[in-house]
Amino acid sequence: MRSLIAIPVYNEESYVRRVLERVLEHAPDVLIIDDGSSDATPCLLPQFPVGVIRHAENRGYGRAMQHAFRWAAMDDFDWVITMDCDEQHEPAAIPRFLDAAAENTHDVISGSRYMPVSGGDDVPPPDRRKINHELTEEINHRLALGITDAFCGFKAYRVDALRRLELSEDGYAFPMQFWVQAAAHGLRIREIPVRLIYNDPSRTFGGPLNDPVNRLLHYRATLHRELDKCRRRLPASALEGIEADAGVSAA
């Protein structure tokens, strides 16, 4: 089983050395997607034996994920594990994702910060927890997924399963599109617990998404648009009430 660790980065000069040193202890194949960093991050990456995709300008989290998936497919990896570079995802958890993938029973192994796990957990900013909870509940209601954390980026994906999807959401709303397509295409989903870590609760999303109301509207609009696009593959119950919201977008 060949597995790739894919890490989107954007201005992570404070963390990238420590994260890569620890990740490389657990996996030899690592890909960095540098999403237009303007700090010293691009100068630090050549110090490590990792592949690098460099965006000339910031294109967004979702675009970085799309490029990671394409790289994994082109290089014939069996699994791709995605994680953040701000020390909010512990490299020591990588073996647990690899073990779950090796069981060969699921297509997506999704980390959850809201399942019980040993070790102390931080407290997330209230607006982030509230938005995550509301949208996780809606996703579960519409798609019958039973997940507990819709936004955790620490995941393992079966590459062959990703080939069925047509992912195009470039920004932070990427998970909303992913969950709908995963359900529409019958991907088998499992959650495993990961620690809830917030090193810098003051980090922002940028632009109108810094406002929690706008952020929730944007995420929900993306979710509803994707439900509408996938309506032929979804039960009618998944589409209840989305027509009035499908055209809403962030300001």
Task: Give residue 101's pLDDT.
Answer: 98
Q: State which H helix or E strand residue 110 sits in.
A: strand 108-112
The sign of the torsion formed by the CA atoms of 182, 167, 84, 79 equals positive
Question: How far apart, in Å, are the Cα atoms of 236 and each of 89, 143, 209, 232?
Answer: 37, 10, 30, 9
Show the low-confidence residues of the chain (pLDDT under 70): 117-125, 198-204, 243-251
Domain chopping of the chain, boundaries: 3-126+142-203
Task: Give residue 210's pLDDT.
Answer: 79
CA 17 to chain CA mean position, Å: 21
The tens digit of pLDDT for each residue in 179-214 reads 999 999 999 999 999 988 766 666 667 777 878 899
3-126+142-203 is a CATH 3.40.1180.10 domain: no
Task: Give residue 202's pLDDT.
Answer: 64
Task: Give residue 34's pLDDT.
Answer: 97
Specify the pTM.
Answer: 0.91
